[in-house]
Structure 1
Amino acid sequence: MIKKIGHSKISSFFLFIGLFLWLFTNGGIVNWAVGLLLIILFMMIEKISLRRKSIVESVVLLALMLFALLRFEIFLRMDVSSLQADAVIGNTAKYILCIGVWLALRSIIKHEKAILLKSLIRPLLIINVVFFYTQFIVKLVTNFYIDAAKYIVGEESRYQGILNNGNGIGSFRATGFYVEPSNYFFTVLILSILLLLIYEFKSCKKLIIITILSMFLTLSTAAFFIGALYVGYIFYIQKVSWKFYVVITIITLPILIFSFSNIGLLYERQIERTQGNSGNMRMALLEEVYDRDSDHILTNYGLFAIDRKLFNLTYNFGGVSREVASINDSGLFIAMWAKFGLLGVLYFMILCLLQRKRSIMNLIFFLIISLTKVHLFTPVFILYLVVSLGKENFIKNSSNYIQEDITFAPLQITQTLNSNRA
């Protein structure tokens, strides 16, 4: 039995690290590749075979990708910028990795070990939130910023603040493990939503509260507005009692008192960013997507490029300010519309229908996530799709495998050993 627990603990470690590496959207695809390798090792140790349905889905996705690649090479390459043409090989590798992620996760989610994948959402969220608060407090107290992204993805964090007030709140925007505050925001948003879909709210209430507070402490414009929608919907579906409001007030009051002089100014700056240049750039993006040439309306350029005009407007050339926002800045719906034309609108509606088929709560949560800067072709978004759409597997399999598989907690291992001795 001891050997079996050690065996399971190693595989759990591989799964956890693999999932953690899949949370990063910056820094290239090296982290994704290493994460996929670790997940494959987990599947080999646990003897999880590829499911036929998962293989069929992945083959279809691969065929669609190859069709898009051939279309680009034959018909579109000469019409796009050289930067997009040169990025084809890298993008192809990224899409193949994403298909591999889909295949692996879909196979795991249909296996009895799906409960182990479920159990790791909570520690993934905890490690993100704990590091964020550590980073935030250390910077606030010592003026030293722990830049994890610099070492994990090889890119320095963009933690510069909104206010020039020395080292107070507003002088920096903590990013957690990631490059930008918005990256941290949508990552913990996805993980916390998965937690709510998997567990009852009351079993993870404290973690959800401190996660939501950390979202607002990023001072990300998206966190102020999308986070408010998220909190409002949680209050609505949970019928939260007055005690919950009291707890949140007690937690946030010291921070408000500590930085009272900056709260009004921070709020004003956020409104200015939304209504000013940032908001104008997003509106300009929407206008460009809506008014594009007739030959780009239906499908645009697909997976490997966007039309030259839109690319020139959205790309930052040598530090020159962009004229419109990047295609991911205005949410997933606009990004898919910009990249795939009206076909992208259809794809988005299909994703919505799949979520609605599970529940109205799934759909609302998906729509909230779609408002962020999350990218369609990233492992963290694929993780969300697979887990949120595969919720029934957890309910079905959880009762038989919780005690055997969750081996991160030493207490649970001890309990298992004691029960077997008895």
Structure 2
Amino acid sequence: MTIISNENIKNFILSIVLFLFSLENHGNIRLAFAAIIIILSLLLLKTQKIPVKPTLLLLKTSSLLLFISLLSLFSIFTYKENMGEYNSVEFFYSTQVKIFLIILFFYIIKDDKNSLCTILKYSILFHVSIFFIQLAMIYTTGIYPDFLFPFTGEASRYTWGVKIPIIGSTYRPTGMFNEPSTYFSILLPFVILRYYLSNKLSRVDCWALLSFYLTLSFAAIIISSIFIIIINLTGKKIHKLIPFVILLLIVLTPLLINFYELRTSGNYDAIGIRQNLNNALLEQPLSDLLFGNGPVGVPLSLEYLYLSNALSWTKNGFAAINDNGLMIFIIMKFGVIGMLFLILIIYKNIRIATYTLVCLLPFATKIKLTSLTFIFFIFVIILFSKERKNENRFPNKLP
């Protein structure tokens, strides 16, 4: 007997699971809560045949994960273990748990694209609502509701030292995360997936896009603008957003120029430390550049920063390892060959240039390669690839 029979209830429960998946800064305790909800949902649903496609994906990704982990464990070819306490075994088990949880998620929704669109909508709505609550409260009361510190002890970085006439100090809400760029990096894939699955943008998606601009993050503003330009090239009647984007860019440009001057002056050169990280990547031997250092390896010029936890990356002239975007991170770990292989997988499952470009945008963000959100993003592209190729099977109305 099916206990969870109402589709809306099931979608709402799974949207909570996806919301928990996305809380990248809240530690692993959220995974335990997500696992409990998923297991209970599976028990309360009517027992059916196990879906073939998610199961095959689980076997393939698990086998690839094991192969990569073994290469690192035995330091085969260019792979190495030089990231201190973080080793191949930890990488394997932590990533495998995430893959397994996501596959269980797809066991519940199976190939129901409409259900997935609804789940994504609710998850986006949760995040965007929190963002605008923070935005309203900090400017009206001066109080910033921090939804990270009570759970982790880490304070959200919502201040940035930029003032403008009349308003005074400006702020950058972070949502449930530690900084605005992380909020953007996690939510952008959800918005892209909604567009990928339905070929449309709803009001919730537009509110999310607006929040990306209001983070006042360079990357968020530039990448969001590129996203809107690309979807306009497909002729899907999103052109009405262009004037709004232009207006936002005009208003926000003075703030960003001010912020750029702050970030490149004094003792902190944000541009310089990122360039130093790129130099460390490019100055590697050709074999390391082509095939990478492995999931728990870094270029030898950065090794000393991991061997001593007391050393500060910034004080030593380097940005954090993922600060230059996911694409640079993947090249560092799996080389140019690995990056090209992942792009090929995405294009093979989409087969449409404009949608491939849209789905590559998260690679320019700071999202982590092994984050639940990114793994979920790639799995949706693969599992719903046949749906994407058949334009006639798109829903007429976005949930």
Q: Partner residue of 1:57?
A: 57
Cα distance in 1 for residues equivalent to 2:89 and 2:143: 39
The reply to whether residue 219 of structure 1 matches residue 216 of structure 2 is yes
Aligned AA (1:324): F
Cα distance in 1 for residues equivalent to 2:239 and 2:58: 48
Cα distance in 1 for residues equivalent to 2:238 and 2:16: 37
Cα distance in 2 for residues equivalent to 1:170 and 1:221: 18
- 1:163 CA displacement: 1.4
Aligned AA (2:96): I
Instruction: Supply the RMSD in Å over aligned alpha carbons.
Output: 3.8
Cα distance in 2 for residues equivalent to 1:133 and 1:229: 23
Q: Partner residue of 2:335?
A: 341
Alignment of 1:222-261 (within 5 A): 222-238=219-235, 240=237, 244-245=241-242
* Residues 1:242 and 1:115: Cα distance change in structure 2 (over 3 Å): closer
Residues 88 and 295 of structure 2 are in contact (CA less than 8 Å); yes or no, is this contact kept in structure 1? no
- 1:374 CA displacement: 1.3
**Aligned-partner SS, 1:85:** coil
Q: Partner residue of 2:356?
A: 363
- 1:73 CA displacement: 3.3
Residues 149 and 156 of structure 2 are in contact (CA less than 8 Å); yes or no, is this contact kept in structure 1? yes
The reply to whether residue 328 of structure 1 matches residue 322 of structure 2 is yes
Q: 1:269 aligns with which of 241, 258, 262?
A: 258
Question: How many residue pairs were aligned?
Answer: 387
Deviates more, 1:164-173 or 1:340-349: 164-173
Q: Partner residue of 1:414?
A: none
* Residues 1:200 and 1:377: Cα distance change in structure 2 (over 3 Å): same
Q: Partner residue of 2:378?
A: 385
In the TM superposition, what whole-angstrom CA distance separates every residue of 1:71-124 from its partner, at most 9, and x where no partner exists? Answer: 333338x9754x533555543332112221343245456x35453222111111
Find the structure with the greater CA-based Rg.
Answer: 1
Deviates more, 1:320-329 or 1:177-186: 320-329
Residues 225 and 245 of structure 2 are in contact (CA less than 8 Å); yes or no, is this contact kept in structure 1? no
Aligned AA (2:375): I
* Residues 1:45 and 1:311: Cα distance change in structure 2 (over 3 Å): farther
- 1:128 CA displacement: 1.2
Aligned AA (1:71): L
The reply to whether residue 92 of structure 1 matches residue 86 of structure 2 is no
% identical aligned pairs: 23
Q: Partner residue of 2:42?
A: 43
Alignment of 1:265-304 (within 5 A): 265-272=254-261, 277-294=269-286, 296-304=288-296
* Residues 1:48 and 1:138: Cα distance change in structure 2 (over 3 Å): farther
Q: Normalising by structure 2, what TM-score?
A: 0.81
Aligned AA (2:95): Y
The reply to whether residue 188 of structure 1 matches residue 187 of structure 2 is yes
Cα distance in 2 for residues equivalent to 1:331 and 1:213: 22
**Aligned-partner SS, 1:323:** coil
**Aligned-partner SS, 2:187:** helix
* Residues 1:391 and 1:118: Cα distance change in structure 2 (over 3 Å): farther
- 1:56 CA displacement: 3.5
Aligned AA (1:334): I
Which ranges in structure 1 are unaligned for 5 or more consecutive residues? 257-262, 407-422
Cα distance in 1 for residues equivalent to 2:180 and 2:217: 6
Aligned AA (1:219): L
Which ranges in structure 2 are unaligned for 5 or more consecutive residues? none
Q: Partner residue of 1:418?
A: none
In terms of fraction of residues, the more helix-rich structure is: 1
In the TM superposition, what whole-angstrom CA distance separates every residue of 1:347-371 from its partner, at most 9, and x where no partner exists? Answer: 33323423542x2232111222211
Deviates more, 1:208-217 or 1:57-66: 57-66
Residues 70 and 88 of structure 2 are in contact (CA less than 8 Å); yes or no, is this contact kept in structure 1? no
